[in-house]
Amino acid sequence: MNRLLSDHGFTLADNPGSAGAQDYGPEQAAVLNAEGLRAARAEISSWPDYAPTPLISLPGLARAAGIADLYYKDEGGRFGLGSFKPLGGAYAVMRVIGAEIQRITGKHITSTDLLARRHADIVAGITVCAATDGNHGRSVAWGARMFGCRCVIYLNEAVTPGREAAIAAYGAEIRRVPGSFDDAVRAASDTAVTEGWHVVPDTAAGGNIGASGDVMQGYALLADEAVAQLPPATRPSHLFVQAGVGGLAAAVCGQFWQAFGADRPVTVTVEPTNADCWNRSFSAGAPVVVTGDIDSLMAGLSCGEISPISWPVLKVGAHASMTIPDQAAADTMRLLADADTGDRPVVGGESGVAGLAGFLLASQDTDARARLGLDETSIVVVVGSEGDTDPDTYREIVGRSGDQVRADAKSWGRA
Ligand SMILES: Cc1ncc(COP(=O)(O)O)c(C=O)c1O
């Protein structure tokens, strides 16, 4: 077994509530289902520049990690926003506007109607708002601009200026809030109530269910694409997905579960060491809030509170949970960019590589391999949920810009 990452401490815990080999049930289908996916796919695939993101095979890394195949769903190119997030935030903006137009006119509208600026007068009077670590706000602001409504984005103190600038570039008004991401979530929902705005959260924390179900259903499209992109008759054995509030992990877990039934992959959530709300919730058998310093290099995963609508899916859908330190994410970003194992170089951002980092740490640990059933026949899928969404941080960590790595990737194999 090769050692791909330095020996950073990680934890691996079984989820005592895991349903193991059960079928996808009504409790899960109430959150994510085939009809919801069909609706999300119909809308999102009609947006300008929609294309499935690539599912990249990394045979060199797979060999080095002692498994059969490793697939990386690379969300770095999604709609030019650098992450998977527009699938959720912008789709939920579309649904909010659609519901408002239906309420006022009684008419059902589609993205195509909005892009043609039908009902532009009503849309211009709508304000959507959201709290964000960066990527979600960017996707809500992008959706608001695409469909023509106003947008206000709440950022907590730790969000970098690079991420703020990326959101402001889509014309959103930015408001800074002292404290953590969870404080920004509360500020956004409180203001939405007083101002009559529509909050578009990526978490249902604080009872804020609203649009967060649409956000998750939109995310499920990436998992649906990935299932279709696997080579014919391929059954993945393992899925490692990073969790912040858990929307992404629940959507991916739920979609693979619906696609593969009881024979679905062993599903492992991956979180930063100090923002391990899923790890703690699994072991308590109920949602647990993590307080104190939850900041992490993996900014999108720095969450202390799970999203309650993800719970019905992950409480039984996740087989195990891992926590990993920031250095493991940084090492994995370099590993993907340098591609010393002979694979095509890939640009993966801090939160984006966390699932892969978790898998690599588990793959080089004899006990973790045995507990998860990882061996030379395993077929592992990970979600590369972002590229260089914060270009300065990316360059600092990797030593080269994302553009340079992308240029290396283009010339790869042409030697
Ligand atoms: C790049 C990236 N990956 C993963 C996540 C985690 O998603 P969730 O909060 O839905 O668990 C986020 C959240 O912002 C993110 O930005």
Q: Domain of 341?
A: 11-84+214-410
Long-range residue pairs from 336-342, CB within 8 A, at least 24 positions apart, any chain:
337/398, 337/400, 337/405, 337/408, 339/60, 339/408, 339/412, 341/4, 341/58, 341/60, 341/61, 341/63, 341/64, 342/59, 342/60
Ligand 1 pocket member 249 (CB < 6 A): yes
Are 164 and 101 contained in the same domain? yes
Ligand 1 pocket member 132 (CB < 6 A): no
Question: Over the stretch 284-314, which tens digit does the pLDDT of each residue have?
Answer: 999 999 999 998 999 999 989 999 999 999 9
Say which CATH number the domain at 231 has.
3.40.50.1100
C-alpha 298 – ligand 1 centre gap (Å): 9
Are 267 and 154 contained in the same domain? no
Question: Over the stretch 137-163, which tens digit does the pLDDT of each residue have?
Answer: 999 999 999 999 999 999 998 888 988
Total domains in the fold of the chain: 2
73 is catalytic: no
Residue of 75, 81, 83, 277 with the most ligand 1 atoms within 8 Å of its CB, for mutation: 83
Alpha helices, DSSP H, located in 106-211: 111-115, 120-124, 135-147, 161-168, 181-195
Are 363 and 258 contained in the same domain? yes
Ligand 1 pocket member 244 (CB < 6 A): yes
Are 18 and 68 contained in the same domain? yes
Q: Of the residues 85, 214, 224, 343, which is catalytic? A: 85
Sheet with 198-199, edge to edge strand ranges:
173-177, 150-156, 127-132, 198-199
Are 63 and 178 contained in the same domain? no
pLDDT class of 322 with cuts at 50, 70, 90: very high
C-alpha 135 – ligand 1 centre gap (Å): 8
Residue written as token pair 């996740």: 318
- Give the pLDDT of residue 208: 66
Question: Over the stretch 26-54, which tens digit does the pLDDT of each residue have?
Answer: 999 999 999 999 999 999 999 999 999 99
Q: Is residue 252 part of a domain?
A: yes
Question: Over the stretch 369-410, which tens digit does the pLDDT of each residue have?
Answer: 999 999 999 999 999 999 999 999 999 999 999 999 999 999
Query: Domain end: 173, 201, 229, which one?
Result: 201
Question: Over the stretch 187-202, which tens digit does the pLDDT of each residue have?
Answer: 998 999 999 999 998 8
Are 274 and 396 contained in the same domain? yes
- What share of the chain has pLDDT > 70, as a percent? 99
Q: Which of 368, 369, 389, 386 is nearest to 377 (CA)?
A: 369
> Is the per-residue pLDDT at 207 higher than 70?
no
> Is the per-residue pLDDT at 22 higher than 90?
no
- Give the pLDDT of residue 2: 61
State mean pLDDT over 54-80.
98
> Is the per-residue pLDDT at 348 higher than 90?
yes
Ligand 1 pocket member 351 (CB < 6 A): yes
Are 297 and 177 contained in the same domain? no
Mean pLDDT of the chain: 95
Q: Is residue 415 part of a domain?
A: no
Q: Is residue 6 part of a domain?
A: no
pLDDT class of 413 with cuts at 50, 70, 90: confident
Are 55 and 165 contained in the same domain? no
Euclidean distance between CA atoms 336 and 333, whole angstroms: 5
> Is the per-residue pLDDT at 213 higher than 70?
yes
Are 218 and 194 contained in the same domain? no
Alpha helices, DSSP H, located in 285-325: 311-317
Ligand 1 pocket member 202 (CB < 6 A): yes
State mean pLDDT over 201-217.
84
Q: Is residue 70 part of a domain?
A: yes
User: Which has more pLDDT, 229 or 204?
Assistant: 229
Q: Which two tokens stand for residue 387?
A: 């590229």
Are 192 and 283 contained in the same domain? no
Q: Which residue's CA is the nearest one to ligand 1's atom 13?
A: 300
Q: Answer whether 398's CB lies under 8 Å from 263's CB.
A: no
Q: Is residue 3 part of a domain?
A: no
Query: Domain end: 137, 167, 201, which one?
Result: 201
Q: Is residue 120 part of a domain?
A: yes
- Give the pLDDT of residue 185: 84
Ligand 1 pocket member 83 (CB < 6 A): yes
Ligand 1 pocket member 78 (CB < 6 A): no
How many other CB atoms are there within 10 angstroms of residue 105's CB atom?
12
121 is catalytic: no
Q: Is residue 4 part of a domain?
A: no
Q: Is residue 2 part of a domain?
A: no
Say if pTM beats, i.e. exceeds, 0.85.
yes
Query: Domain end: 143, 167, 201, which one?
Result: 201
Ligand 1 pocket member 301 (CB < 6 A): yes
Give the pairing of strands 69-74 and 55-57: antiparallel
Question: Over the stretch 110-127, which tens digit does the pLDDT of each residue have?
Answer: 999 999 999 999 999 999
Are 304 and 161 contained in the same domain? no
Q: How far is CA 159 from the centre of its chain?
A: 17
Q: Of the residues 69, 74, 133, 390, which is catalytic? A: 133
> Is the per-residue pLDDT at 415 higher than 80?
no
Q: Which residue's CA is the nearest one to ligand 1's atom 12?
A: 300
pLDDT class of 206 with cuts at 50, 70, 90: low
Are 185 and 272 contained in the same domain? no
User: Which has more pLDDT, 23 or 128?
Assistant: 128
C-alpha 300 – ligand 1 centre gap (Å): 5
